[in-house]
Structure 1
Amino acid sequence: MSLMERITVSPLQCGGRPCIRKMRIRVSDVLELLGQGVSEGEILTDFPDLEREDIKALMLFRALSLS
């Protein structure tokens, strides 16, 4: 699975906002945590279904959406 395939969008899930691997974990929520200074390790502990590659994917997704 490529990094960008980890980001999914479905109009029937989370109001159509980007999520991680079809889970109800929104990209924006994880980005907000990172912006508040929560470490990647803490996020992975708090969300055991997430993987390091998911965090890389959402950061890439954010970077691409800004360009």
Structure 2
Amino acid sequence: MGAGQLEIELRAAPNTAWRLEMSNDLKNWGLYMLPDLARTGTNGVCRIHVAPAGASLFYRSRQMP
């Protein structure tokens, strides 16, 4: 992982789909990455590396059906 990068670790039920969203104001949310789904492995963990944005951002994850 490079300098200034952030690693977000999701822990959930194995083989579930998640979407990572970002916001700069906690009101308006948009997709962080494409493809927009991340899957946990058989161990229930998914790690997402977030590149530095230069501005303060908030992140949230949402489980997908």
Q: TM-score normalised to the size of structure 1?
A: 0.28
More strand by share: 2
Please identify which structure carries the higher helix content.
1
TM-score if structure 2 supplies the norm length? 0.28
State the structure with more CA Rg. 2
Ranked by relative contact order (alpha carbons within 8 Å, sequence separation 6 or more), the top structure is 2
